[in-house]
Amino acid sequence: MSPNDPDFEALFHASPAPFLVLRPPRFTIIAVNDAYLRATMTDRDAILGRGLFEVFPDNPDDPAASGVRNLRASLERVVASRRPDQMAVQKYDIRRPASAGGGFEERWWTPLNTPVLAPDGTVASIIHWVEDVTELVRARADRSELDRLLMAERSALAEARNARADVEAANLAKSEFLTVMSHELRTPLNAIAGYTELMEMGLRGPLTEQQRDDLRRIRASQQHLLGLINQVLNYARLESGTVQYDITRVPLDDVVASAANLIAPQAGAKGLTLNVGRPARIAAHADADKVRQIMLNLLSNAVKYTSRGGHIGIASERRSDHVRVLVRDTGLGVPQGKLETIFEPFVQLNRALNRPGEGTGLGLAISRDLARWMGGDLTVESQEGVGSTFTLSLPPAA
């Protein structure tokens, strides 16, 4: 070989592509370059002269391993056809040396087996070239898993949207039903009130005192039932988002005094002490009518659930970022496990102690929704058998 001729052996060993030279029929390893040794974590002296499948067996921990079978079939096709054989991507795990922890490491390869023919046309050797595509396969697997997760997320979002649409449709149907029902019931109740008033005025003839007592009971029952229906109607309006708010500066002392005056006769009739704290001279950024409605609901509940001789107190105060009104009573109290439940629609504080038809269980639900729509909240602290404190918090007026 002249000095100008290329050193093919040096080129073979310096090639960055992993090469192995095999001699059939046993497929003995007769040459290996450095890139192949690095890729397979092997040593040249340890593999030269040995059979390929003795050096590189299947992973015994992988029952589905088919690397030996597929590679042998490719090599035998090369011997029979004397043509190159390009293999598809193969999983062929590599045995780690003891210094690297032993066992097998998952690997994926794209092999190409090329024959080297003898003068008589037979296959003298086979050049076995491989490319390690393990990272590419893993990246594709990760992408497939990512695609699967994205599809699952899209499916979940679609289901959630459909479920939300179903819930919204159900809520709308419920609100529409409640609205229609309330209006339909109010018409005959208003007629009852009108005819009762005509009879009390004596337009249908003179009445005895007993008849007047009966008419007063009829009117009281009509007003009570009309109040319940109005609560249902108010709740339906809240649910449908059709309630209008007139947000202004609301002096809380005035609203508290107005509500206390309205509830005082009921408290007095039950022998309850109603105490309004000293004027706090604070104002809320809210709707005056809605605040008054909340206060009447809270005070009505306090009267309803406080035993004769009990006490109801009202106090207003300013905090750093809000103003609040507290309604305290010495009533039945609420069990700890039901402190949130009582704000749910159609739940009464203690149904077992109510008379049938006493209420709808909507007062607190409506009150909290009103408070939150105005940027505030309605909360409760209570001890069963001792009493409760309901706190209405609202944004302060500027």
What separation in angstroms does the CA of 344 have from each of 48, 49, 301, 360?
A: 81, 83, 15, 11
Give kind and range of the element (H or E) at residue 298: helix 288-305
pLDDT at residue 235, as a whole number: 66
pLDDT at 353 over 50: no
pTM (two decimals): 0.48
Cα–Cα dist 69/65, whole Å: 9
Q: Are 35 and 18 in contact (CB under 8 A)?
A: yes
Report pLDDT digits (tens) over 359-381. 556 788 888 989 999 999 999 99
SS3 325: strand
Percent of the chain with pLDDT over 90: 46
Three-state SS string over 47-82 comes to: HCCCEHHHHCCCCCCCCCCCHHHHHHHHHHHHHHHC
Average per-residue pLDDT in the chain? Answer: 85
Report pLDDT digits (tens) over 62-102. 998 999 999 999 999 999 999 999 999 989 999 998 888 88
Question: Can you give the C-alpha Rg of the chain in angstroms?
Answer: 44
Residue 357 binned pLDDT confidence (cut-offs 50, 70, 90): very low
pLDDT at residue 356, as a whole number: 40
pLDDT at 43 over 80: yes
The amino acid occupying position 275 is N
Q: Are 22 and 29 in contact (CB under 8 A)?
A: yes
pLDDT at 336 over 70: yes
Report pLDDT digits (tens) over 182-217. 667 667 777 777 778 778 787 778 888 888 888 888
Tell me the backbone φ, ψ of residue 55, rounded to 5 degrees. Answer: -75, -40
SS3 129: strand
Other C-beta atoms within 10 Å of 275: how many? 12
SS3 248: strand
Peptide bond into 63 cis (omega under 30): no
Report pLDDT digits (tens) over 285-333. 999 988 998 998 899 889 988 999 999 999 999 988 999 999 999 998 8
What separation in angstroms does the CA of 30 have from each of 45, 69, 119, 184, 389?
A: 11, 21, 19, 99, 92
